[in-house]
Amino acid sequence: MIVVEGVRFTYSGGVEALRDVSLTVKDGEFVAIMGQNGAGKTTLVKHFNGLLKPSKGTVRIDGVETTKTSIAKLSRTVGFVFQNPDHQLFSETVEEEIAFALKNFGFEEEVIQKQITWALNLLSLTQYRKTSPFMLSGGERKRVALASVLAWDPQILIMDEPTIGQDHEQKEKLRQFIVQLQAQEKTVVIVTHDVEFVAECNPRVVLMKEGKIVADGKGKDILTNLEALAQSSIVLPQIAQIFTQLAPLGLSRNVIDIYEAKDILLQAWGRRRT
């Protein structure tokens, strides 16, 4: 469980990136943190594994305050996948890349081999086991970066902009993959601008603006809340846009899911025909 209480954070340059943020993420929850560039999203999640320590307030992971432990210890529980895979890939083969963290955490050789096989399989990278990560495409490198974090099976997974540079098929795989993690009661936190991806996943959405949380609730409610979205310069998901325009016909505006939209439209269609 992640408990953030009254956190303020000021960068050494003097920029105040977080202004009194409080947030609780329960075990097994799926949260999307959204907001404009510079709203403080990445700064906030960097507090979850201790990369940044609050200037004021506290961040606790499973009851342990992040200021009282090391990043390495926290990372064992909190896996953090960075936005740009090129900021972490350095090994000669994909296999070694994934083994890096496992060695750092002091896993046994057998366990390392087992976890590598498992992680490669999970992200359909098995064929690249002995390939250099630098030879892979952008999307594949992103998956290697993800695999290299998932390999140690952290309880909490944080992903910064996981959909950037991914084609639609990969996004869909990522979505299914998160569903799978949810089934294992893992906590997933994503930082993203991708409104359509969030609409498809329908997680809890936390909206940030200028270092503060301005809205927090079900994806379906937040992503159809015109005022809250306008405040953080986020556009409605396409389905919500259609239903906003159809509102004068007496249809619900509160729709972001394709299948729900289809049902509502079919119902309305049927009413008109009879």
Binding site for another protein (CB under 8 A): 46, 49, 51, 70-72, 75-76, 79-80, 82, 84, 86-90, 100-101, 104-105, 134, 148-149, 152
Of 64, 85, 63, nearest to 159 by C-alpha is 85
Cα torsion 25, 30, 34, 37: sign = positive
Residue keyed to tokens 């200037």: 55
Give yes or no for a contact between 33 and 11, defined as CB atoms under 8 angstroms apart.
no
Q: How far is the CB of 103 from another protein (least distance, A)?
A: 8
Of 131, 129, 179, nearest to 157 by C-alpha is 179
Q: How far apart are CA 267 and CA 265, in angstroms?
A: 5
Q: Pick the closer one to another protein by CB: 52 or 229.
A: 52
Q: Pick the closer one to another protein by CB: 50 or 219.
A: 50
Q: How far is CA 62 from CA 92, 101, 154, in A?
A: 36, 22, 13
Q: Pick the closer one to another protein by CB: 75 or 192.
A: 75
Q: How far is the CB of 151 from another protein (least distance, A)?
A: 10
Q: How far is the CB of 150 from another protein (least distance, A)?
A: 11
Q: Pick the closer one to another protein by CB: 148 or 225.
A: 148
Q: How far is the CB of 226 from another protein (least distance, A)?
A: 35
Q: Pick the closer one to another protein by CB: 103 or 168.
A: 103
